[in-house]
Amino acid sequence: MKNIITKITYCFVAVFGFTALSLAQESSTSAGALGRIAIAPYIPEQIEGLPAGADNMLSNKLKQIVSANGMSGEVNNTRFIISPNIDVATKDILGTAPTMIALTLNVNLYIGDGLEGKQFASQTLTVKGVGVNETKAYMDAIKNIKPNDAGIQSFIAKGKTKIIDYYNARCAQIINEANALAGQSNFGAALDKLNSIPEECAECFNKAQAAAGPMFKKHIERECKLKMADANSKWSANQSFETANEVAGILGTIDPEASCYKDAKALNDRIGKRVIEIDKREWNYVMERDINLKRDAIKAWRDVGVAYGKGQPKTVVYKSIW
């Protein structure tokens, strides 16, 4: 029983402590890719002759190219893509033991709007590979694509400029669409839409931040009310140690900046008194211990949008941009 009490005692501390630590770690690294222009690697089925074993390697190479040039390649449902097409320039059978196949590939790379099928930039690379079969030769050639190649850097820069132009031209429309979603209490979708605006579009990004603040406030207020209703319902139905633990888990996810957070603390106090009555022992449970959770405000609302985006099915159907 004492173990159960101890477990409940530190539930909030663990939740908030882990959250604070995670936020600090995430905000200190560029790997989060928040705020960067997002481009999805897209391998179309129209690439003739690309062996099944080489497509994953090609997709990973595209991600490396995007990441090495300051953009995000780990994205959900973005409209912008980097897409390849491959031509076999030469194919030779080498009289070695074992017999080897040598390929010269012209790898044509394209960046564009995959929803509209509009091309922004293109670049052709010539790479060579050798292998015991055609798949191995393809893979060896793909390995020789250099993400930091000067031609690739110029190609990426041109595509990035076009994407920035897209957001600058449609800034008001994107924010209006986000406000409409927020008006329907679909705050995750609204913040996810604002997340799509990269920091490189400085003016539009600042407008998105200004719009996101009130949305996020409404979001945490709504979440607080829903969670308080759930917690009260569970505690009223069954006042036990197990329920106290369950309710603690719910209350521990309520944002301290929500106006009904004081109600969460009041419920916590009532639970504490009741547990003492049930167990006849001192109740050591301290809710969150009034930790002053210092958060990156931008990351806080972005996390809501990111969580929404990751939870959506990957339903984007791209058009060819070459």
The identity of residue 68, as a single letter, is A
What pLDDT is attached to residue 74? 61
Q: With 0-12 CB in 10 A as exposed, 13-18 as middle and 19+ as buried, what is 313? A: exposed
Residue 28: CB partners within 8 Å, gap ≥ 6? none
What pLDDT is attached to residue 82? 94
8 A C-beta contact, residue 148 and residue 122? no
> Residue 79 to residues 45, 171, 227, 244: CA-CA distances in angstroms?
18, 15, 35, 46
Distance of CA 56 to the CA centre of its chain: 21
Identify the helix (H) or strand (E) that includes residue 131.
strand 118-131
What token pair was written down for 280?
Answer: 């006849």
Written as tens digits, the pLDDT of the chain (322 aa) is 444 333 334 333 333 333 333 333 333 233 344 567 889 899 888 777 788 878 889 999 999 999 888 887 666 668 899 999 999 999 999 988 899 999 999 999 999 999 899 999 999 999 999 999 999 999 999 999 999 999 999 999 999 999 999 999 999 999 999 999 999 999 999 998 998 898 889 999 999 989 999 999 999 999 999 999 999 999 999 988 788 888 888 988 888 889 999 999 899 888 888 877 876 655 455 555 443 444 566 777 778 887 877 777 666 788 888 7
* Chain position carrying tokens 């080897």: 100
8 A C-beta contact, residue 71 and residue 39? yes
CA angle 8, 10, 11 (to 5 degrees): 65
* Chain position carrying tokens 């604002």: 194
- For the stretch 222-257, what's the b/e string if a residue is b when 16 or more beta carbons lie within 10 angstroms of its beta carbon? ebbeebbeebbeebeeebeeebbebbbebbbebbbe
CA-based R_g, the chain, Å: 26
CB-CB neighbours of 141 under 10 Å: 25
Query: How far is 103 from 130, CA to CA, in rounded Å?
Result: 6
The identity of residue 103, as a single letter, is L
